[in-house]
Amino acid sequence: MPMITTAENVEIFYKDWGTGQPIVFSHGWPLSADDWDTQMLFFLHKGFRVIAHDRRGHGRSTQTAAGNEMDTYADDLKVLFEALDLKDAVMIGHSTGGGEVARFLGRHGTSRVSKAVLMGAVPPIMVKSDANPGGLPIEVFDGFRAALAANRAQFYVDVPTGPFYGFNRPGAKVDQGVIDNWWRQGMMGGTKAHWDCIKAFSETDFTEDLKSIDIPVLVLHGDDDQIVPIADSAMISSTLLPKGVLKVLPGLPHGMATTHADQVNAELLAFIEG
């Protein structure tokens, strides 16, 4: 399997298909590069080079006990960029991956990147505080940790069966294959890394990262996102980004890249080529 190795000997799995302008995808928690398969095939057939990695502790990468936080995620991604000598890249991050993209650009700059997309993304910060009164209470994330520790396998059935894809909405058509694929990806990763990542995606403040990004950024969000509510994420992030463009997709859920791939892919392509 294609791997890069970081300075501390952590192996990061990646996919790298095609030629042309590179598009680099960052996945959500607790998934893997496989969550981008539909987008990767679409853009490969449009003439792009498509790259997606498994974040440390996720998928086929090393099941790390340490470094499961945003600074290190961003540093791992920098190693990938340098190993593949990526230039003029478009970065696309979903959910936790959107935080990873924001921290990468804030921490390492935009010299290798021309555009970025934050899709259903966690920035600027998810957890509720005095400075972020619209956020989700810490008890929500404590509940995630408790469910993961008690029965990770069942928890990874419950999330996609319910709010992630909006399958809990009245009249929703439930896709068992999608649920099974979510479970498969989640169970490939490491419990400790997934536990740590809950803190990383919920408590990291990306405000200063967003303010520093000097390239065009599309903020793409479904207004029926039950995992990362739009009011405290996209609506704020788009105002912090110097060149942010907000696009709200009515009625779409958090996992819209899967449930509404044609619509999402069209929006991504229009932004990249615009």
**pLDDT by position in tens, the chain (length 274):** 899 999 999 999 999 999 999 999 999 999 999 999 999 999 999 999 999 999 999 999 999 999 999 999 999 999 999 999 999 999 999 999 999 999 999 999 999 999 999 999 999 999 999 999 999 999 999 999 999 999 999 999 999 999 999 999 999 999 999 999 999 999 999 999 999 999 999 999 999 999 999 999 999 999 999 999 999 999 999 999 999 999 999 999 999 999 999 999 999 999 999 9
Write out the two tokens for 123: 């920035």
The C-alpha atoms of residue 163 and residue 148 are separated, in whole angstroms, by: 16
Query: Contact, 204 vs 96, CB < 8 A?
Result: no
Is 35 annotated in the active site?
no
Of these residues, 53, 58, 94, 254, which one is catalytic? 254
Contacts of 155-158 with C-beta under 8 Å, sequence gap 24+, read: 156/30, 156/182, 156/183, 156/186, 156/187, 157/183
Of these residues, 32, 95, 233, 237, which one is catalytic? 95
C-alpha distance from residue 36 to each of 133, 161, 241 (Å): 33, 19, 25
Q: Beta strands 49-53 and 11-17: pairing type?
A: antiparallel
Q: CATH classification of 3-273, choosing from 1.20.5.510, 3.40.50.1820, 2.60.120.10, 3.20.20.70?
A: 3.40.50.1820
- Written as one string, the DSSP assignment of 217-259 is EEEEEETT-SSS-GGGTHHHHHHHSTTEEEEEETT--TTHHHH
Is 88 annotated in the active site?
no
Write out the two tokens for 122: 């966690």
Is 232 annotated in the active site?
no
Of these residues, 225, 232, 233, 260, which one is catalytic? 225
The C-alpha atoms of residue 256 and residue 96 are separated, in whole angstroms, by: 15
Q: What are phi and psi of 68, to 5 degrees?
A: -90, 65
